[in-house]
Structure 1
Amino acid sequence: MRDDGPTQPHGGRRDAAPATGGGADGAPRVDAEWADAGAPEAAVRYAVVLAVVVGVQFMVTLDASVVNVALPDMRSDLGFSESGLLWVVNAYTLVFGGFLLLGGRAADLFGLRRVLWLGLGLFGLASLAGGLAQAPPALVAARAVQGLGAAVLAPVALTIVTTVFPATGRARALGLWSAAGAAGGASGVLIGGVLTEYLDWRWVLLVNVPIVALALVAGRAIPDHRPARRPRLDLVGALLATVGLAALVYGVVRTADDGWTSATTVGPLGAAVVLLAAFGWQESRRAAQPLVRLGLLTHRAVGGANATMLLLASGQFASFYFVSLYLQRVLALGPAATGLAFLPFCAGFTASALLASRLYGRTGPRALVSGGAAAGALGLLWFSRLGVDGTFLATVLGPSLLTSAGIGACFVPLASAATTGVGDDEAGMASGVLNSAQQVGGSLGLAVTVSVAANRGEAARSAGDPALAALNHGYGAALSVAACLLAAAALLSWVLPGRRTSGGATTAGPAAPTTEGAG
């Protein structure tokens, strides 16, 4: 049966006749300035755009984890309380997760280049302010603004890949975008550890400033697409989605300290259910230009990709968190050594993401995602057998490579499937939804596994196990649950199309992508 993809309110589809640049031939979204450029000049511009996308994706994912190793130094330097220190991480997570849908839709309504510059400006200024902070409130506020900048940058980076690059270069661009995101998340511990140990904790934030400066200059190469229709941002929907997602992430975050039945958890989660239900009603009934067109998620490829991403991210986030804790608290490695121990994660993610971009045209999304998630689940089961007398070679290296290679193979096919058949005027919307699924899934998975680790560790202590052994038992139980989440993602991925999906603009291109157009 032919898969026609989701239709748009105005009747257009990305693989239908060209409207604003996407067509059956995979033509990219360009402006008049690009149309007049010769082939060599266009190739240079594509290379610059690719560098911007890769740099932005790496920076955004890096900052989700780079501060973790620096938290003890932040506490001693600025005088954080134990509970206050958590907000260095939570402020970024809450704002990032809450504003992703708004950031994605802004790219559709106001143009890629302008929204990219807005996100870079927010992120760069917040990084500078955080690196210079002299008190806890200043650092927490800077991290919140960083999260806002990241919520703008993450969806716009994916939108640039799926709308600017032609079909012949899109596979390579998607592969490098995916590899940059995976490498950024995995190398956060390494970079944070090295900067903290050999320079100062402030550099985990200040290192973003030169990256932002370069991206602002290079961002001029991105086509300044201007929507044909007058932008009308759905402010009511934006408010409901932002507050609802923030309440959901906040409630999930609180479970680590207060449990699932406390008022501080149930209250925000209940509010999130009400607000997100109101958001669904607003988008389906009232909004002229909705923040999320709910019919988009009924398409098998799009809905399946987002549901699978939610489960995949829940296991991935937990693996980073507990392996990092195991290395530092059980094996007693320092910040820099812990970071170096994550190098196999970086290598596995990067290599498998690039390989997936080449295989996608032959296999389609289902085979890559189901195989990759299953391999990741086996890797986490292997990890769950960690012991108090473990070593890097015996306990960490093998499962690190298997887990990262499996998870890394999933991002290119999921990103492509989640934007399949989506019109140019909704590409940012689809990107924002996928990023929201990843962020919310990661928060939920981490909350569940933290609770499992705490309960299992407490049971082991009550049974008379030494403190270190009890801690190790908790980590192993949490990683076993994370493996189950990845296994569930592997099963759910069977709803994805079995072969390369139709529609030139969002498929990853031929099995052996050329460099034409991609630089």
Structure 2
Amino acid sequence: MDYIFKYIFPFIFLSLYNKTCTLSKHLPKKRLIAESEKRTCTMSNWNGGYDVLESVVQQQPSEKIIVVLAFTLAISVMSATMFNIVLPEIMVEFHLSLSQVSWVTSAYLLIFAVGTVIYGKLADTYKLKNLLTFGLAVFALGSIIGLSAHHYWVVLLGRIFQAVGSAVIPATAAIIPVRYFPQESRGRALGIVMTGGAIGTALGPAIAALVVSLVHWRFLFFMPLLILLTVPYYRKYLTDAPQGKGKMDWLGCGLLAGSAALLLLAITNTSWIQALGCLILLVLFTVRIHSIPEPFIKPNLFKSKRYSLGLTIAFLATGIGYSLPFLSHSC
């Protein structure tokens, strides 16, 4: 395609242009001037057309990468939701309580949420293709660990590694459309990516039910291994350079993750001491983000009513979705 745009089209145009010049020798002077101006205008327009064609060729990798990204996000979301329906089986197999088995999803989502922000910050310093290669490799490692799990702690370890790796996907899903698409087509690119996430949410429980009806629930860890097929595409088509050296607020990150972990532990163990520790860390985190120029989470975000409302709706929807297995009769 590039060859046609650069060589064939120019050859055809220049042939027509030379023919026009030959015919112009037999034209009156005034008409000759008009034809000359017309040719100049046509040449200018052709150059502009070539620029458009060139831009289309350059955007083709972006079109490919956005489809691959949508597939990657679908697999990532499926991995998060597939285990919901097998929590009762895991609970029975390892003789766990409801609060204990909930860590299969809670640990994943906690690390997934915090890791998404971390990868977003690291994208300012490191190349996206390197971050994705690292994240997807860790994601696959967690899947391999989970496939070989015969103890509950190994299942949790596999889910933790999966979360550490898969957190790179939503971070890059928000960055790639901004870096690789012009402003007028970013909405469409983001729509394609979010469609992949929605499809993953819808298909996750259905595919999990199908897999569990045929084989052991451990084979749910196999699905994310398909994501390794996307690594060569990211290595080939992501050509961006780091945007700059941003500062990472590791202390703020630790305070937020620690407060969330203590909250989950307080609920699991019914411990007021851990609940008090969660409150203390949350207060320290609030003080931290208001006292430094580049906090882990910018407090100005919460001043937007739309953002706060969207965050609340997402929190409630996710909570309802993940609580359904515990409300079913099989539990």
* TM-score normalised by L of structure 1: 0.49
Task: Give how far 1:264 is off.
Answer: 2.3
Closer/same/farther in 2, CA of residues 233 and 222 from structure 1, 3 Å limit:
farther
1:267 aligned to 259, 277, 286, which one?
A: 277
Alignment of 1:41-60 (within 5 A): 41-60=57-76
**Partner residue in 2 for 1:319:** 320
Alignment of 1:29-178 (within 5 A): 38-39=54-55, 41-77=57-93, 79-82=94-97, 83-178=99-194
**Equivalent-residue separation in structure 1 for 2:285 and 2:326 (angstroms):** 35
1:247 aligns with 2:258: yes
**Partner residue in 2 for 1:188:** 204
**Equivalent-residue separation in structure 1 for 2:233 and 2:295 (angstroms):** 29
The answer to whether the 8 A contact 2:208-2:220 is kept is yes
Q: SS at 1:194's partner residue?
A: helix
Closer/same/farther in 2, CA of residues 305 and 181 from structure 1, 3 Å limit:
farther
Task: Give how far 1:122 is off.
Answer: 1.3
Task: Give how far 1:183 is off.
Answer: 2.9
Amino acid at match of 1:314: F
1:297 aligns with 2:312: no
**Equivalent-residue separation in structure 2 for 1:131 and 1:291 (angstroms):** 38
1:215 aligns with 2:230: yes
The answer to whether the 8 A contact 2:81-2:205 is kept is yes
**Equivalent-residue separation in structure 1 for 2:63 and 2:204 (angstroms):** 25
Task: Give how far 1:68 is off.
Answer: 1.4
1:161-195 CA distance string (max 9 Å, x none): 22212234322211122222233234322222221
Stretches of structure 2 lacking an aligned partner (at least 5 in a row): 1-50
Alignment of 1:298-447 (within 5 A): 303-324=304-325, 328-329=328-329
Task: Give how far 1:155 is off.
Answer: 1.1
Q: Which runs of 4+ in 1 moved over 6 A?
A: none
Closer/same/farther in 2, CA of residues 292 and 305 from structure 1, 3 Å limit:
farther
Q: SS at 1:110's partner residue?
A: coil
**Equivalent-residue separation in structure 1 for 2:324 and 2:299 (angstroms):** 39
**Equivalent-residue separation in structure 2 for 1:257 and 1:87 (angstroms):** 9
Task: Give how far 1:291 is off.
Answer: 5.4
1:327-357 CA distance string (max 9 Å, x none): x42xx7xxxxxxxxxxxxxxxxxxxxxxxxx
Amino acid at match of 1:145: F
**Equivalent-residue separation in structure 2 for 1:108 and 1:192 (angstroms):** 36
Task: Give how far 1:208 is off.
Answer: 0.7
**Equivalent-residue separation in structure 2 for 1:145 and 1:109 (angstroms):** 23
Q: SS at 2:211's partner residue?
A: helix
**Equivalent-residue separation in structure 2 for 1:133 and 1:50 (angstroms):** 34
Amino acid at match of 1:152: V
**Equivalent-residue separation in structure 2 for 1:114 and 1:154 (angstroms):** 15
1:362-419 CA distance string (max 9 Å, x none): xxxxxxxxxxxxxxxxxxxxxxxxxxxxxxxxxxxxxxxxxxxxxxxxxxxxxxxxxx
Closer/same/farther in 2, CA of residues 53 and 269 from structure 1, 3 Å limit:
farther
Closer/same/farther in 2, CA of residues 190 and 325 from structure 1, 3 Å limit:
farther
Q: Would you say how many aligned residue pairs link Structure 1 and Structure 2?
A: 279
1:290-348 CA distance string (max 9 Å, x none): 355848638x7xx444312321112211332355555x42xx7xxxxxxxxxxxxxxxx
1:414-464 CA distance string (max 9 Å, x none): xxxxxxxxxxxxxxxxxxxxxxxxxxxxxxxxxxxxxxxxxxxxxxxxxxx
The answer to whether the 8 A contact 1:186-1:320 is kept is no
**Equivalent-residue separation in structure 2 for 1:186 and 1:171 (angstroms):** 22
Q: SS at 2:129's partner residue?
A: helix
The answer to whether the 8 A contact 1:252-1:265 is kept is yes
**Equivalent-residue separation in structure 2 for 1:257 and 1:180 (angstroms):** 33
The answer to whether the 8 A contact 1:57-1:177 is kept is yes
1:61-80 CA distance string (max 9 Å, x none): 22222111122333455x35
Amino acid at match of 1:266: L
Q: Which has the higher contact order (CA 8 A, sep 6+)?
A: 1
The answer to whether the 8 A contact 1:56-1:157 is kept is no
Task: Give how far 1:251 is off.
Answer: 3.8
**Equivalent-residue separation in structure 2 for 1:93 and 1:311 (angstroms):** 16
1:26-72 CA distance string (max 9 Å, x none): xxxxxxxxx9x945643431232112221222222222221111223
**Partner residue in 2 for 1:348:** none
* TM-score normalised by L of structure 2: 0.73
**Partner residue in 2 for 1:385:** none
Q: SS at 1:129's partner residue?
A: helix
The answer to whether the 8 A contact 1:80-1:136 is kept is no
**Partner residue in 2 for 1:361:** none
**More helix by percentage:** 2
**Partner residue in 2 for 1:338:** none
- Return the index of the structure with the highest Cα Rg: 2
Stretches of structure 1 lacking an aligned partner (at least 5 in a row): 1-34, 285-289, 333-470, 472-519
Closer/same/farther in 2, CA of residues 297 and 320 from structure 1, 3 Å limit:
closer
Task: Give how far 1:88 is off.
Answer: 1.7
Closer/same/farther in 2, CA of residues 63 and 293 from structure 1, 3 Å limit:
closer
